[in-house]
Each structure stands twice: as C-alpha cells, then as structure tokens.
Amino acid sequence: MTEAQRYTATEILAILSARQLRDGQVVFAGVGIPLLAATLAQRLRCPGLTILFEGGVIGAFVEPGKLPPSTNDQRCTKRANMVLGSADVLLLLQRGYVDVGFMGGAQIDQYGNLNSSFIGDPAAPKTRLPGTGGGNDISSLTNMIVAMKHEKRRFVEHVDFITSPGFIRGDESRGESGLPMGGMFRVITELAVFGFSERSRRMKVLALNPGVSREEVQDNTGFSLDFDETTAMTEPPTDSELQTLRLLDPERLFTA
C-alpha cells in the first residue's frame, strides 16, 4: 500500500485543514469538511478552540459518530456554550470576535475570490449554485481557509461571479474596496497547500502533498501558479489523525 492509499482525498483535506488551526481561536465552521477539521483539531491539539455555527450555536462539542448534517440540527447544540439568532452570530463577525472562517465554492481564482452563485453568463447562466448564505459576511470579516477538490474547472483565472471576496484584484484592492481586515489565509486541496503573496496577493504553492509533483498541480490549475521559494512537502496524515477522524465519522458520511 502506498502512502496515498492509506487515506481518501477527503480525509487529507480535513486533516491538513485541521493543522491550520490554533488553540484559543474562534472558528466559523460549516458542516462537512470544515466541521470535521475543526472537531479534529479540538480533539487532538486545540482543546480551547471555539466552534461557531451560522445557525447560532457557539462552543459546539460534537460527539463522535453524531456529526450534524446541517448547522440547524439540534445535535449542534449539545454541550454548547449558548445559542443565538443568526443575526447575532453575524454581528460577532462584524465586531471582530471570529478568527477563522471555513469556506468552499464551485470556483476559486488566483486572488482567492470564491464563486458559489452561478457558472457562465449572468444573463443566462449554465448552472445556478446555492448562493452566498453567510459566505460574503464570513469572507469579508475573517481570515479564510478553503478546502476543496482540485480541478482545472474549479481553479480559474477569474471567477464568473465573486460571491465571497478574497483579495479581489490583488495588491491593495481588498482594502480599497472597503474590506480592511481578513482575507484568504490558506487553500487546501488533495494536491497541495496554498497561501497568498504578501505583495501581489496571488495564490502560491506552499507545500505539495505526498506523491504530488509541481507539474501535476499546475496541470490541474487554470492559471499560472507561483511556487514558494522553499516549497515543502506536507507531512502525511498520522495514525492518530486518521484514527480520530474515523472515530468522528465512522460511517464515512463526509470522508468517503
């Protein structure tokens, strides 16, 4: 068995995302990979991590094998610190009380802008997507982590619509657009871990996942990538990370 065969693509997304979190942070997480990553970090390294749901739950502590399918599910509330209305949760974002937001989207571009609205011409879109929900608020006011499948059709030079802003057009354009705080922090895929240049704000490869080459990452990306001067190799998932993750999701509802 090769190293990559020990885990699924979804499992490495959750594990690498969990490694980005730090103890004491407040994390705005959705269901699926974001919740798995936040809960995994909470179990293994960050007992003081506070998980916040758009549905209003603050301080969620999810039981193994009982991952909620929705942020409005009552399983989210068990052992939580409090439950607020959605408007109050978004006010916490505006007041600067949330450190990290987890996001996803159908498209992401070289500046970390996300599209979850539609694909194609806005006058006659080929595909309509779920839309923003609280995505615009989260991406406008926190440091973002995105976990998504790496495909050329998803990693595009310019998204068809900016649902959730990253660094807009690069350079200083985010601040100039009225968003002085936050921005895209990390993008995690089954191929690599990405950050963004401090100056141009373009996406760059920080680390390649085990068994992945630079050529493979570039071939699956719809724009020219920058590579960090010291591009590293990510550490493979440990047995402890995999065992804990599979305990949290024993039926593989989110990690198949």
Active-site amino acid positions: 54
Please report, for residues 44, 110, 113, 114, 162, the alpha-carbon distance to residue 168 in angstroms, rounded to integers and kept in the order given: 35, 9, 6, 10, 8
Neighbours of 78 (CB within 10 A): 13
Torsion of CA 219, 163, 136, 79, to 10 degrees: -60
Q: What is the 3-state secondary structure (H, E, C) of 156-206?
A: CCCCCCCCECCCCCCCCHHHHCCCCCCEEEEEECCCEEEEECCCCCCEEEE
Which H or E run includes 115?
A: strand 114-115
